[in-house]
Structure 1
Amino acid sequence: MRYEKHKKKKKRKTKSIFLALLLVVGATAGYSYYQYKQGVSQSLEQINNGSAENNVNEEVYTFEGKKDQYGATNILLLGSDAREGEEVSRADTIMIAHYNEDKGTYKLTSIMRDIYVSIPGEGKHKINSAFMRGGPELMRKTIKENFDIDLQYYAIVDFEGFEQLIDEAFPNGVEINVEKRMEEYIEVPLEPGLQRLDGKEMLSFVRFRHDAIGDFGRVQRQQQALQAISDQLSGIQTIPKLPKLIGVVTPYVNTNMDTGDMLFMAKDFFAKDRGDILTFRIPIENGYTDAKIKGEGAVLDLDLEMNTEAFHQFLTQ
Structure 2
Amino acid sequence: MSKKSSTMKKILIPLFIVIILAASGFYYVYSTYLGKINTVKITKNEEELQIQPVVADKSKDIINIALFGIDTRADDYDGSRTDSIIIASLDLSHKKLKLSSIMRDSFVSIPGEKYDKINHAYEVGGPELTVKTLNENFDMNIKDYMTVNFSALEEIVDAVGGVEINVKDYEVDLLNKTSGSSSVGTGVQTLDGQQALAYSRIRYSGDADYERTLRQRTVLQSVINNVLKSKSLPQALSLIEILSPYVQTSLDQGALIGLGTKVFSAGGITMEDTRLPVDGQYIPGVWDEVFYLKYDTLSENVSYLHDFIYEEKGYVPSPAVEEISNTILSTVSKN
- TM-score by structure 1 length? 0.71
Counterpart of 1:262? 256
1:297 correspondence with 2:291: yes
- Percent sequence identity is 31
Question: Following the alignment from structure 2 to structure 1, what is the Cα–Cα distance between the partners of residues 195 and 42?
Answer: 34
Question: Following the alignment from structure 1 to structure 2, what is the Cα–Cα distance between the partners of residues 263 and 224?
Answer: 26
Q: For residues 94-124 of structure 1, give each alpha carbon's deviation from its aligned partner in whole angstroms, at most 9, with x where no partner exists.
A: 1011113455432111111111111112211
Secondary structure at the aligned position of 2:142 is classed as coil
Counterpart of 1:33? 28
Match of 2:208 among 209, 214, 222: 214
Question: Following the alignment from structure 2 to structure 1, what is the Cα–Cα distance between the partners of residues 263 and 194?
Answer: 26
Secondary structure at the aligned position of 1:235 is classed as helix
1:80 correspondence with 2:75: no
Shift of 1:274: 3.1
**Farther-moved stretch of structure 1 (287-296 vs 266-275):** 266-275
Question: Following the alignment from structure 1 to structure 2, what is the Cα–Cα distance between the partners of residues 157 and 254?
Answer: 6
Unaligned segments of structure 1, at least 5 residues: 1-27, 45-56
Closer/same/farther in 2, CA of residues 261 and 59 from structure 1, 3 Å limit: closer
Counterpart of 1:286? 280
Closer/same/farther in 2, CA of residues 189 and 307 from structure 1, 3 Å limit: farther
Counterpart of 1:129? 120
Counterpart of 1:174? 163
Counterpart of 2:131? 140
Match of 1:62 among 42, 47, 58: 42
The 5 A counterparts of 1:146-165 are 146-165=137-156
| Greater C-alpha radius of gyration | 1
Closer/same/farther in 2, CA of residues 307 and 182 from structure 1, 3 Å limit: farther
Closer/same/farther in 2, CA of residues 183 and 34 from structure 1, 3 Å limit: same
Question: Following the alignment from structure 1 to structure 2, what is the Cα–Cα distance between the partners of residues 93 and 195?
Answer: 26
Counterpart of 2:331? none
Question: Following the alignment from structure 2 to structure 1, what is the Cα–Cα distance between the partners of residues 220 and 247?
Answer: 17
Closer/same/farther in 2, CA of residues 246 and 267 from structure 1, 3 Å limit: farther
Higher RCO (CA-CA < 8 Å; seq separation 6+): 2
The amino acid that maps onto 1:176 is I
1:308 correspondence with 2:302: yes
Q: Residues 35 and 247 of structure 1 are in contact (CA less than 8 Å); yes or no, is this contact kept in structure 2?
A: no
Secondary structure at the aligned position of 2:80 is classed as coil
Q: Residues 97 and 271 of structure 2 are in contact (CA less than 8 Å); yes or no, is this contact kept in structure 1?
A: yes
Shift of 1:181: 2.8
Question: Following the alignment from structure 2 to structure 1, what is the Cα–Cα distance between the partners of residues 57 and 208?
Answer: 32
Question: Following the alignment from structure 2 to structure 1, what is the Cα–Cα distance between the partners of residues 154 and 44?
Answer: 30
The 5 A counterparts of 1:175-254 are 175-179=164-168, 180-181=171-172, 183=174, 188=179, 191-193=184-186, 194-235=188-229, 237-238=231-232, 241-242=235-236, 244-254=238-248
CA RMSD, aligned part only?
A: 3.3
Q: For residues 112-146 of structure 1, give each alpha carbon's deviation from its aligned partner in whole angstroms, at most 9, with x where no partner exists.
A: 11111111122111111111111111111111111
Closer/same/farther in 2, CA of residues 261 and 62 from structure 1, 3 Å limit: closer
Question: Following the alignment from structure 1 to structure 2, what is the Cα–Cα distance between the partners of residues 92 and 243?
Answer: 28
Secondary structure at the aligned position of 2:172 is classed as coil
Unaligned segments of structure 2, at least 5 residues: 1-23, 47-55, 312-335
Q: Residues 173 and 196 of structure 1 are in contact (CA less than 8 Å); yes or no, is this contact kept in structure 2?
A: yes
Q: Residues 95 and 270 of structure 2 are in contact (CA less than 8 Å); yes or no, is this contact kept in structure 1?
A: no
Secondary structure at the aligned position of 1:89 is classed as coil
Q: Residues 173 and 198 of structure 1 are in contact (CA less than 8 Å); yes or no, is this contact kept in structure 2?
A: yes
The amino acid that maps onto 2:109 is S
Question: Following the alignment from structure 1 to structure 2, what is the Cα–Cα distance between the partners of residues 259 and 152?
Answer: 16
Counterpart of 1:8? none
Question: Following the alignment from structure 1 to structure 2, what is the Cα–Cα distance between the partners of residues 292 and 272?
Answer: 46
Closer/same/farther in 2, CA of residues 59 and 102 from structure 1, 3 Å limit: closer
Shift of 1:35: 8.3
Q: Residues 282 and 293 of structure 2 are in contact (CA less than 8 Å); yes or no, is this contact kept in structure 1?
A: no
Question: Following the alignment from structure 2 to structure 1, what is the Cα–Cα distance between the partners of residues 124 and 179?
Answer: 31
Q: Residues 105 and 291 of structure 2 are in contact (CA less than 8 Å); yes or no, is this contact kept in structure 1?
A: no
**Farther-moved stretch of structure 1 (138-147 vs 286-295):** 286-295
The amino acid that maps onto 1:123 is K
